[in-house]
Chain A
Amino acid sequence: MIVPYRALPGSVQARPFLDVLVGPAPFRVAGLVDSGAVHGLFHPDVAAEADIDLSGAETRPIEIGPRRVLAEVRFLVVPLEYEGVTWEAELGFTESMTLDWGLLGQSALFRWFTIEFRTYDDEFELTPISA
């Protein structure tokens, strides 16, 4: 699955975003594909709009960003889907994340796909890993 990078107004460099279905949401949300991130992280409003109940989520603190902000993150295993490919991954929800887009790191995406970045063509390719 070849996915074009997203060009954002004001930036000279397009970046790899993946638009995923999170849980039962009737809409997709954009996640920045980040090989340097451990987790998949989204703002809690994404969970609220997607009817994902965070009351039973496990809360763990993690440090976020260069200022090492200590954030309380509610982690939950949720189904994710992209173009008919589904997988279950642990996502963290924290208000320390911007609502503008989420983060798809190692545990949420990279352990499920082989991912090749081709920045020279402004695209990346996802290949699901066979079970």
Chain B
Amino acid sequence: MPAEFDEDTAEAIDIADRLLRGVAIVGRWSGATIEADGDLRAFLGDSEHGVMLEYTATHRLQLGGHEITIGEVDYRLLHARMAPGQAGEGMIRLIPGSSDRAELRLIGVPEVERLDGVTSWVPAAMLEPHVGRWVAQSGTRVIASGDTFADAAEKARASGRLATIWRVPATTEQAEALSAF
């Protein structure tokens, strides 16, 4: 387990974890590079609007110098277009067209059962912005914070995601406290 990881890695772990749990992920995308033949190039054309593109690829998680193969994932990009200035065969760079919505779903049998030992772990450094506050933690991410337990719980409810509500200690004394007052 790495000692530290950044927000991007935390998000990548979160996505992999949710895929393994059978959750269809709906979000935004900013770019992708895929192998393309002439037919795909013709399909994509040179539309500014872009086209709906669906493809299957192996999803991998890079973690602390290790690569974990998650499984085959169906990617649906609405809408994709070729980045300007590309010619010839081989890999092409895709960018969003009129919509940057993306959907991901694991298909078939995953390569790993789950991400035991990784997915509920948040490095202390990532909690520092929330010191003394109540947080709603989902997987490796803090999805909301508030001044009270009820506040954080309400924000978690509103997000529609199952989260753990807890308070990040403000001091060493609190962090190492017994549970009872």
Contact = CB atoms under 8 A, between A and B. Distances in A.
Interface of A: 1-4, 6-11, 13, 17, 19, 21, 26-30, 32, 34, 41, 45-46, 49, 64-66, 69, 71, 96-103, 121-123
A42 B123 CA distance: 25
B163 A8 contact: no
Given A8-B124, A9-B124, A9-B169, 17 more contacts: A4-B1, A9-B175, A10-B169, A10-B174, A19-B120, A21-B162, A26-B157, A27-B157, A27-B163, A28-B165, A29-B164, A45-B150, A65-B178, A96-B180, A99-B167, A101-B166, A102-B179
17 contacts: A2-B116, A8-B175, A9-B168, A11-B169, A11-B175, A11-B176, A19-B137, A19-B164, A30-B165, A64-B180, A65-B178, A66-B178, A98-B177, A98-B179, A98-B180, A99-B149, A100-B166
Nearest to B119: A4
A15 to B, nearest CB: 9
A8 to B, nearest CB: 4
Task: Report the 4 A-B pairs with minimum CB-CB distance, sorted nearest first.
Answer: A11-B175, A4-B121, A10-B172, A8-B175
B131 A26 contact: no
B181 A100 contact: no
Contacts of B176: 8, 10-11, 13
Interface in B147-167: 149-150, 153, 156-157, 162-167
A97 B175 contact: no
B148 to A, nearest CB: 9
A13 B125 CA distance: 14
A85 B118 CA distance: 19
Contacts of B172: 10-11
Contacts of B156: 26-27
